Structure 1
Amino acid sequence: MGFRRSALHRLVSLAGRCSRSALTIAALSVAGLVAGCSGSSLGDFPGYPSDPNAGNAPVAGDVIGTGTVRVGLLLPLSGGGNQTSIGQVFRNSAELALSDFQGADIQLIVKDTGGTAEGGRMAAQEVIAQGAELILGPVFAPAVGGAGSVARSSGVPVVAFSTDTAVASRGVYLLSFLPESDVRRIVSFAGSQGKRSFAAILPDDAYGSIAEAVFRQEVGRAGGRIVSIQRYSLSGGNTDDLRAKAETIAASSSSIDTLFVPAGGGVPGFVAQVLQAGGNFGTIKMIGTGQWDSAEVQNTGLLTGAWYPGPDNSGFQSFAQRYQGQFGSRPPRNATLAYDATILAAGLVRSAGAERFNSRVMTNSDGFLGIDGVFRFRSNGLNERGLAVYEVTGSGTRVIDAAPRSFGPGS
């Protein structure tokens, strides 16, 4: 216990040299790391480091930072369109993170994946050959799969930004916002508010399958029952199937107190219209996911009073202002992923020394605190996040249950 306090004291003393946002993620990491590391040897990944002399060779190409610890940053910087735009935004966010974290002892080696499996594989090979001890990215699932296969064989951990849980594995951690966290948070909250009779309208795709599995589990955990689950298909702008499934729910509305509609965009509002026309809509609480974080949902009058989970937005607003000031445009909501990943890398280098990217350090149960709140990695590569619950007002949202700032003991 004395070691933990002294380590935290040393970290807090760095406040004069680090931004507040940089300190928060590093501080929580130390709080957990010293508890997990004190008096024990954490061990390394098999084969780590793959080439202890690689870090002595000069790095060619795009590099951010001048630190001694090399970290790969794999992004889709070619291919055109939205893919290239995301790659540039994530690169900018990583650069902003290093400017905020003064004295960061890391050097980001930026490589283009093209968003493909082969591009991810080649980019990972290049940064590992240049001495990278950790890889941040890629963004898209195929590239994560390609990079992950190389990184695992070399013992280099990956912190990727894909939302496809199929590419997560031991040593390949997803920092993105995952459907599992959303569903757990919103169903658990609904249960805590006395909701017991649940129904769901889910897209008939892989996302819907994941959402359904967690929904069933969490409703049972909340002591509720499932009245109906409907899966719908959308073909272009044709909403006939969605209407039919919503009408089926409406026919059972007298026995439902909560309706889960995870999709965002125009889907929640459309479902609400159908329910209002054909059921006891006023008695049903609609709940959603982070996909509802859009003006289209938040400003729909029929959805007033509906709930959805999401990260605390206060950190993002501050980040967005700094990003716009430096790069001239407002960043998309997910730009914080690259920022938090970079701060995480710099914070672990500063706080954990030689153990910095070890698997037990990365999956420490205390987690880390970033712009989007508290998060932690699980051993299977998925993550858990502390999320707030928002209520739609018809002209925006309001927080009705704040995001936790830490994970509870034994959680």
Structure 2
Amino acid sequence: MFAVFDTLRKPLRLLILPFVAFALAACEPGLMTNTGSSKGPKVDTSKPIPVALLVPRGGSASDNLLAQELENAARLAIRDLAGVQIDLRVYGTGGSAALAATAASQAVNEGAQIIVGPLYGEAANAAGNAVAAQGVNVLSFSNNASIAGGNVFVMGQGFDDTSSRLVRFAKATGKDKILVLHSNDVAGQLGRNAIMNAIAQNGATSAGAVDYSLSQESVIAAVPRVKAAVEANGANAIFLTTSSASALPLFAQLLPEAGVLTTSTQYIGLTRWDIPAQTLALPGVQGGWFAMPDPSATAAFSQRYSAAYGKTPGPIAGLAFDGIAAVGALARSGKSNALSTANLTQGAGFRGANGVFRLKTDGTTEHGLAIATVRNNSVVIIDPAPQGFGGAGF
């Protein structure tokens, strides 16, 4: 049996997504009123554009490391902006919502015309509220969709984005009767809701849902319930919300042993099944699907970052690169309203560290994701990431 047994005996905090796991925070959406498409300060693109970068510097040691990686990536992006000058101003938030609000207000008072960051959901929510009245947009690194909207954008890859990409692919390949297997904590319920919404929006069929508590006993008890639901509802796919740090290793072993075979039932993961790498050796994930950023773009960014700073970037560093890339692309237009909500949400999107992405009018971000499978303990891309989006843009 996999070593996850000892972990599952204890209460677990299931993180939203391993690639931006720490971006989720328990907070209520702010009361944003800045929803007009014209919102955003006027800018003079012939001069350096003041951009505030809010990072969790001044917090824990891990926060300080994240802060440095985010700043490094932002400065790397600035090097690419031919014809555009960015006056980058870095503010530490200490990972605190209160300090993030103070930093955002200070940044705007000192002339910042857009804010890139902060990281955590509560901090992003607070920063957005602090500068909403001035019409300044916030491109946060969070993936917490509950804080998105108004002048706050969440740039992290979230459940809705991932679910939609995977369900579209499943529907197109005939795996359209989908059973959702989810934990009954907040993260599992959010994942379930995102998958169910994606099923409805993409014309697939729901084969129900099976939940479980975050304990070894509950996971084991869920297995016969999953098998019964697959047989009763004719499911040809199971969409799991769990990660390799939680119940995935146990389900990957027990479900096939119980007769829910991967040859007839497609396993789909809401999280990355290649992190950590040893997950790829689990028998139950062989042939499974998951979504990931464009591997070629990610590799190219990692190589450039490593060449510049002598180390490999962490999984969220690319979000700071993306924020600066978007600002630069818009500023290149020469328009005084370059940083308005309407321009930030232009349909063609932008090209960033992990491939193409576009900011949506609801404050979330759509990423150009690839569909991967696991074959012989290795990752194989079976549907490449798109290289662009439809719609007008720059």
- TM-score interval (norm. to shorter): 0.7 to 0.9
**What secondary structure is seen at the aligned counterpart in 2 of 1:355?**
coil
Return the alpha-carbon distance in structure 1 between the equivalents of residues 78 and 194 of structure 2. 37
Aligned pairs (5 A) from 1:171-190? 171-190=151-170
Q: Which runs of 4+ in 1 moved over 6 A?
A: none
Q: What corresponds to 2:8 in structure 1? A: none
Aligned pairs (5 A) from 1:288-299? 288-294=269-275, 295-299=277-281
* Same amino acid, percent of matched pairs: 28
Q: 2:96 aligns with which of 85, 99, 116?
A: 116
Return the alpha-carbon distance in structure 1 between the equivalents of residues 336 and 81 of structure 2. 20
Task: Determine if contact 1:135/1:157 at 8 Å carries over to the other structure.
Answer: yes
Task: Determine if contact 1:300/1:394 at 8 Å carries over to the other structure.
Answer: no
Identify unmatched segments of 5+ residues in structure 2.
1-35
Change (3 A) 1:243 1:408: farther
Task: Determine if contact 2:160/2:198 at 8 Å carries over to the other structure.
Answer: no
Return the alpha-carbon distance in structure 2 between the equivalents of residues 361 and 290 of structure 1. 31
Aligned pairs (5 A) from 1:95-244? 95-234=75-214, 238-244=215-221
Aligned pairs (5 A) from 1:43-62? 44-45=38-39, 48=41
More deviation in 95-104 or 68-77? 95-104
**Counterpart amino acid of 1:354?**
S
Q: What corresponds to 2:362 in structure 1? A: 380
Task: Determine if contact 2:347/2:390 at 8 Å carries over to the other structure.
Answer: no
Task: Determine if contact 1:265/1:296 at 8 Å carries over to the other structure.
Answer: no
**Counterpart amino acid of 1:345?**
V
What TM-score results when the alignment is normalised by the length of structure 2?
0.83
Number of paired residues? Answer: 351
Q: CA deviation at 1:112?
A: 0.4
Change (3 A) 1:145 1:220: closer
Identify unmatched segments of 5+ residues in structure 1.
1-41, 56-66
Return the alpha-carbon distance in structure 1 between the equivalents of residues 220 and 334 of structure 2. 54
Q: Which has the larger radius of gyration?
A: 1
Task: Determine if contact 1:201/1:246 at 8 Å carries over to the other structure.
Answer: no
Aligned pairs (5 A) from 1:282-321? 282=262, 283-294=264-275, 295-321=277-303
Deviation per CA, 1:70-103: give whole Å up to 9, x if none: 0000000111132222111101111111223345
Q: What corresponds to 2:383 in structure 1? A: 401
1:354 matched to 2:348: no
Q: 1:87 aligns with which of 67, 78, 95?
A: 67
Return the alpha-carbon distance in structure 1 between the equivalents of residues 221 and 107 of structure 2. 51
Task: Determine if contact 2:117/2:124 at 8 Å carries over to the other structure.
Answer: yes
Return the alpha-carbon distance in structure 1 between the equivalents of residues 299 and 94 of structure 2. 30
**What secondary structure is seen at the aligned counterpart in 1 of 2:296?**
helix
Task: Determine if contact 1:253/1:281 at 8 Å carries over to the other structure.
Answer: no
Return the alpha-carbon distance in structure 1 between the equivalents of residues 37 and 236 of structure 2. 50
Change (3 A) 1:204 1:76: same
What TM-score results when the alignment is normalised by the length of structure 1?
0.80
Deviation per CA, 1:304-362: give whole Å up to 9, x if none: 11011111111111111121122221112221111111121122112243121011101
The CA RMSD over aligned residues, in Å, is 2.3
Return the alpha-carbon distance in structure 2 between the equivalents of residues 340 and 348 of structure 1. 12
More deviation in 353-362 or 248-257? 248-257
Task: Determine if contact 1:251/1:278 at 8 Å carries over to the other structure.
Answer: no
Q: What corresponds to 2:222 in structure 1? A: 245
